[in-house]
Amino acid sequence: MNCNEVKTLLMPFHDGELDPAVAAEVETALSGCPECQVELEELSRLHTFAADAFTATVPEVDLSGVYDGVMARIAAEDAAEATSNAIEGVRVQREDAAPGLIDRIGTWFSELFRLQRPVTAFVAAAAVAALVAGVWFSGSQSTSPGERVDGGDPGIAKIDNNGKRRGREGEVSVTSSRVEAIADKGEVKVITFDDSDDEPIVLWHVVEGEGVSMPNGSSNGTKGL
C-alpha cells in the first residue's frame, strides 16, 4: 500500500470504519510513512478539539425539569385535543325546546285533515309557506332535537355522550350531562353526573380553543373534559 492509498484510507482508519484486514494493512504501511503518521495525529487532535469545542461551549443549564415539562406538555396537548373533540362532538338537545318547525307543521296539517277542512288547510299551507320564506330570509336558525347548540339563550340541555372523561378525582364515566348555560364563543357550562348516583360531581367550564378551566379558574389541562 503506497502513501497515497494510505492517505485515502486514513480518515476511515482513524474512525474505526475499515474492515479489520484493510486496517491491518494501513497500520503496517503507516509505520513506514512519517508523513501519514503526522496526518493521523492531526486527525486525532482534531477529534479532541471538536469534542471539547462542542462540550465546552454548551451553556450550563438545569435539565432536571425536562421530564416534568414534557409530561405537562403532553397532558396539556391531550386536554386541548379532548376539549376540542368534546366540543366538536357534543350534540345537545334542549330539554325545554319546543318541537322543530317541520314537526310542528306536520302535526298541524294532520290535525286539519283529520278534521276534514281542506279549504282551511290550503289557506293555512299558503300562510305556512310565507312563514317559512320569512324564516329563510331572516336567516334565523331553529334548534331542533339533536342539533348542536352554539349560542342563544341559556337553557337546560342534555348531551348525548357516553365517552370517558377525566374527572377531578380520576376518571369518571359520564353517562349523562347537562348543559347549564350556553354563552357566546362556544363557552359552555356542563354539569356531569357520575354513574353511581344522580349527583352532579363537577361543574365544567369549557372554552373552545383555550383548554378547560374550572369555574373558579383553579384548574386546567388534564382535569378538563
Partner 1 sequence: MANQERKHEDQALVERAVQGDQKAFRQLVERYQRKVYTIAYGIVRNPDAAMDVVQDAFVKVHRHLPNFKGDSSFYTWLYRIVVNLCIDRKRRAARAAEVDYDDALAHGDGFTNGPTLASTGIESPLKAAQRKELVEHMDKALETLSDDHREILLLREVDGLSYEELAETLDIAKGTVMSRLFHARKNFQKSLTRYLKK
Using CB under 8 A, count the residues that bind partner 1: 39
Rounded to a whole number of angstroms, the minimum distance from the CB of residue 70 to partner 1 is: 4
Report phi then psi at 88, rounded to 5. Answer: -60, -40
Rounded to a whole number of angstroms, the minimum distance from the CB of residue 164 to partner 1 is: 16
Is residue 42 within the footprint of partner 1 (CB under 8 A)? yes
- In 3D space, the residue among 155, 141, 139 whose CA is nearest the CA of residue 92 turns out to be 155
Q: Which three cell numbers stand for residue 158?
A: 342534555
Among 27, 28, 32, 46, binds partner 1 (CB under 8 A): 46
Cα separation, 193 vs 202, in Å, equals: 8
Task: Check if the beta carbon of residue 113 is closer than 8 Å to that of residue 175.
Answer: no
> Per CB under 8 A, which of residues 48..77 are in contact with partner 1?
48-59, 61, 63, 66-67, 69-71, 73-74, 77
> Per CB under 8 A, which of residues 118..157 are in contact with partner 1?
none
DSSP string, 17-55: -S-HHHHHHHHHHHHT-HHHHHHHHHHHHHHHHHHHHHH
Is residue 164 within the footprint of partner 1 (CB under 8 A)? no
Which residues of this chain interact with partner 1, rule CB under 8 A? 7-8, 10-12, 15-17, 35, 38-39, 41-43, 45-59, 61, 63, 66-67, 69-71, 73-74, 77
